[in-house]
Copies of this chain bind each other. A is one copy, B any other.
Amino acid sequence: MITVALAKGALLKDSVTQFAAAGLDFSAVLVSNNRQLMVPSSCGRARALLVRNGDVPVYVAYGQAQLGVVGYDVLREHQMPVAHLLDLGFGQCRMSVAVKESSGYKRASDLPPHCRVASKFTRCAREFFDALDLPVELVHLTGSVELGPLTGIAEAIVDLVASGRTLQENGLVAVEDLFKSSARLIGNPLSLRLDSGALNSITEEMRLNTKMVRETV
């Protein structure tokens, strides 16, 4: 049986749609009163594991799931040994440096050396500021990072920006992007090597479907 790790939250609905196009119907996970974390597909050929965003690459890396869908941001931050199979195109956002609008900083290199930067993505932030050769103190937060500059715990933040509404509501502005992110199909390397065809055909159908969607847009 094929097991697919799906991230709860913003990516779930589109993930289900994409697997449906490849013949696996996981729509039961979208039923609002579903409390189950392991949900069989309607055809019985596969099952979905409903886990947190950050746990998708863990389940795939350990082979408990052969496939998974997760944001590129998570893959960059956690660097687990998984195969990157496909950019699914949805869930688009940017990993950005943001500062208080009133601060006057126009780019990341305007930040004063040794200032504090708050983020959930401290590995990505570390790489970015190292490459800039700007020494900063990173403060690891687990949620509501936009509170950072408001409370004074940090001069800037590194966070995901989709519509930009959260930044705007908090008087913040994005000044520089680290990278763009979107949902990715990932696979367990060993399962892919031992694959008798099923994983490959799902991946190919999703690839065709993603390409078609792009050409229509």
Contact = CB atoms under 8 A, between A and B. Distances in A.
A150 B54 CA distance: 19
Interface string A65-94: 100000000000000000000000000000
A151 interface: yes
Interface residues of A, number: 27
Interface string A17-29: 0000000000000
A115 interface: no
A49 interface: yes
Contacts of A150: 38
Given A52-B142, A52-B143, A151 B58 contact: no
How many monomers of this chain does the complex have?
Answer: 2
A53 B143 CA distance: 9
Interface in A123-164: 139-144, 147, 150-153
A63 to B, nearest CB: 9
B58 A144 contact: no
Contacts of A65: 151
A37 interface: yes
Interface of A: 3, 37-38, 49-55, 58-59, 62, 64-65, 116, 139-144, 147, 150-153
A-B pairs with lowest CB-CB distance, top 3? A52-B143, A64-B151, A54-B142
